[in-house]
Amino acid sequence: MGPPPGSKRSPPMKRSSTAPTSIRSLEHDTLCIIFSYLGLFDVVRSSAVCKFWNGIIKRSKLLQLLYLKQQRSSRSSFSEESLNVYLEELAIEHQRQSLVRGSLHIDQWKGHSLGVDQCRMKRGLVLTGVGDKVMRLWSLERYRCIEEYSIPDGVPLVDFDFDESKIVGQFIKGSCMRYFDPEAVVGCEDGTARVFDMYSKKCSRIVRMHTEPVTCLSLSEDQLIISGSSLGRITVSGLSSDQRVATLRPTDSTGIKSLCFNPASHHVFAGTTAGYASCWDLRTMRQLWKTRVSPNVVYSSQHMRCDTSTLVVGGIDGVLRVLDQNTGEILTSYVMDHGTSSSSGCTHGVIERKIGKEDSS
pLDDT at position 341, please? Answer: 66
Q: What is the 3-state secondary structure (H, E, C) of 306-331?
A: CCCCEEEEEECCCCEEEEECCCCCEE
Cβ-contact 328, 312 below 8 angstroms: no
pLDDT at position 13, please? Answer: 42
pLDDT at position 153, please? Answer: 75
pLDDT at position 12, please? Answer: 46
pLDDT at position 111, please? Answer: 82
pLDDT at position 330, please? Answer: 92
Rounded Cα distance between 249 and 233, Å, is: 6
pLDDT at position 170, please? Answer: 75
pLDDT at position 199, please? Answer: 82
pLDDT at position 9, please? Answer: 46
Chain-centroid distance, C-alpha 150: 24
Chain segment 274-316, per-residue pLDDT in tens: 999 999 998 888 999 999 999 989 999 988 877 888 999 998 8
DSSP string, 91-124: HHHHHHHHHHHT--EEEE----SS---EEEEETT
Residues of the chain scoring pLDDT < 50: 1-17, 72-78
Distances from the Cα of 89 to the Cα of 86, 261, 301, angstroms:
5, 18, 20
What is the rounded average pLDDT for all residues in the chain?
A: 77
Distances from the Cα of 25 to the Cα of 20, 50, 58, angstroms:
10, 15, 19
pLDDT at position 4, please? Answer: 47
